[in-house]
Amino acid sequence: MPTFVALLNWTDQGVRGYKDTPQRAEAFTAAAQKLGVKVLNLLWTVGPYDIVAVVEAPDDETATAVLLQVSAMGNVRSTTLRAFGREEMDRIIATATG
């Protein structure tokens, strides 16, 4: 399954409710599972991003749907990256080199 890295920043609303972030993380994981998305890791960070989520989704559309759902709650904004594992990168290189 494709892997995605979501870099999340709290909105003003999200940071005001920082005490609820563990419960919001659980709700995100549950919502993701309902759409067939597996949350591999969820980390709170210091620096330019507040949270990093690593997820596996069946496709780009499903990953986008779950991130739209979480963003619509108003607590975070996301920047999402498609990530490639070693085997995927080997196939990409093989394709590129013919």
Domains held by the chain: number: 1
Instruction: Give the pTM.
Output: 0.92
Whether 62 and 35 have beta carbons less than 8 Å apart is answered as yes
Number of H helices, E strands in the chain: 4, 4
Per the structure, the complete domain to which residue 68 belongs is given by 3-97
What's the CATH code of the domain at 47?
Answer: 3.30.70.920
For the residues 53-79, what does the mean pLDDT come to? 96
Whether 77 and 8 have beta carbons less than 8 Å apart is answered as yes
Q: Give residue-wise pLDDT tens across range 10-63.
A: 999 999 999 999 999 999 999 999 999 999 999 999 999 999 999 999 999 999
